[in-house]
Structure 1
Amino acid sequence: MDCLPVIRPMRPRDVTAVYGVESNAYDYPWASNIFRDCLRMGYECWVQLATDRVVGHVVLAMGPGEAHVLNLAVHPDWHDRGFGRALLEQALSRAEELGAESVFLEVRPSNAPAVHLYSGFGFRRVGRRPGYYQTATGREDALVMRYDLREVAPVGRR
C-alpha cells in the first residue's frame, strides 16, 4: 500500500467527502443530513483516510448493552485494501470500550463481499428484515447479523 491509512473521528467538515464515498459505494446512499444528524446525536462516527482524503466511514449507535453498525462504506476505488476490515474493527473496539455486549447490523444478502467480511469476523445471522432495502426493481430483504463481544474474539480480532 502506498499510503498511510488513518482512522479518526468524523467531523462536520467531513460530511461532504463522506457523502461522496457513500454515493459511490451505494445505489441508494444516505443523504448528507443523515450523517450530520448522526454527528449531532453523538453517534460513534469514524472516517478512514488514505493520502489525506476520506475513503471510508463507519457509523455506530450505542444502546443499553448493545451497539448497532448503521453504516459502513469504502469508496470502490479503495476496495480490497483492508479498509472495510479496519473500520469494522474500529466499530467493534469502540462498542466493547463503551460497554456493549452485542453488536448488530443489517446487510443485503446480495452484497457478498460484506456478508463475507462480517461472517469472517464472527457475526452470525440472527434474523431477516423483509423488504428492508430499496432496489431498482423493488425491495430486498436484509440479513440481521449479531456479534457477541462476550465470546472469545475470532482470529484476526485481537
Structure 2
Amino acid sequence: MTSEEMAALHDRSFTTPRAWSAVEFDALLASPGAFLETATEGFLLGRVIAGEAELLTLAVAPSARRAGQGRRLLAAFESNARARGAGSAFLEVAADNGPAIALYAGAGWETRGTRRAYYQRPDGSRVDAVVMSKPLA
C-alpha cells in the first residue's frame, strides 16, 4: 500500500483526528521502529521504541468495517511488536469513537487515562483522547 493510498483511505475513515497526508505517512514510515500492517481495505501503522509499541493509526474503509479486518490488523500489530521486542503497547483513540474503543477492549486493551481536549474536530470543537494499553509479553 502506497503512502498516497494510505492517505486516501485515512481521509475516508477519519474526521477526528484529521486525516494524515501522504507526506506525513512517508515521514512516519521512515522513522525508527515504524512498521506497516495491511489488509484488503485497511492498514495499521505502528512503531516500537525502547521496548514499547505505539499503535499510531488503524484505518479500515467504511464499506469494509465489521468484517474482521480491524481485528486481524490489531493481532498482526501485536505479533509484530512482540517480535520487535516490545513488552507493552499503547494507543490513543478519540473518546467518541465507540466502535474503535470496543475493538481494542475486546482484544484485551485497557483504559489507562484520558487526555483532555486532545483532538480537534473540523468544526473547531475538541474531544478527549482515551489512552489504552496492553501488555504484550
Give the TM-score normalised by structure 2.
0.92
2:9 counterpart residue number: 21
Aligned to 2:25: 35
Kindly provide the amino acid, as one letter, of the partner of residue 133 in structure 2. Answer: R
Structure 1 match to 2:90: 104
Counterpart CA distance in 2 for 1:62 and 1:96 is: 9
Superposed displacement of residue 38, structure 1: 1.5
Which residue type is aligned with residue 46 of structure 1? E
User: Structure 1, unaligned stretches of length 5 or more?
Assistant: 1-9, 50-54, 151-158
1:137 deviates by 4.3
Map 1:17-96 onto structure 2 (within 5 A). Answer: 17-27=5-15, 28-42=18-32, 43-49=34-40, 55-96=41-82
Whole-Å Cα distance in 2 between the matches of residues 63 and 41 of structure 1? Answer: 10
The one-letter code of the counterpart of 2:127 is E
* CA–CA distance in structure 2, aligned partners of residues 124 and 80 of structure 1: 21
When the two chains are superposed, the root-mean-square deviation of aligned CA atoms in Å is: 1.2
Q: Residue 142 of structure 1: SS of its match in structure 2? A: strand
Q: TM-score, normalised by structure 1?
A: 0.80
Larger radius of gyration: 1
Alignment gaps of 5+ in structure 2: none
Equivalent pairs, count = 133
Paired residues of 1:38 and 1:45 also in contact (CA < 8 A): no
Aligned-residue identity in percent: 34
Deviations 1:39-88 (A, max 9, x none): 22251112212xxxxx1111111111210000101010111110011111
Q: Which amino acid aligns with 2:83?
A: E
